[in-house]
Amino acid sequence: MDRVALRGLKARGHHGVFPREREEGQTFIVDLVLGLDTRPAAADDDLAKTVHYGIVAEEVVAVVEGEPVNLIETLAERIAQVCLKHDGVQQVEVCVHKPDAPITVPFDDVTVTIIRSRV
């Protein structure tokens, strides 16, 4: 399976279990790897035969900026479902970064990574 990757999509969301996270919001970063067969698009040099990653990026940002959830696991699942709605996308790996998570010790990042496929 071929892969199309989008790395470092940034958006402000109000996800989290604490009131401060919901009120103030924070930046979330999303990495995606979309699994699909790119041969038909390459053979005909035709965007319609592959995934339009610009549209996927906009949809993912809309999910992050949209309805708040408690867990980044839930956010990752919602993002995966949006990606799998695109024709041709057979699998998606979603990594959600929460670099400003409310943790009381020094850290660089918190991530949740999921892999989902069409059933």
Q: Which residues are catalytic?
A: 98
Residue with tokens 């319609």: 48
Would you give the end-to-end CA distance of the chain in angstroms?
16
Q: CB of 32 within 8 A of CB of 92?
A: yes
The DSSP secondary-structure symbol of 16 reads S
Residue 92 structure tokens: 């998606």
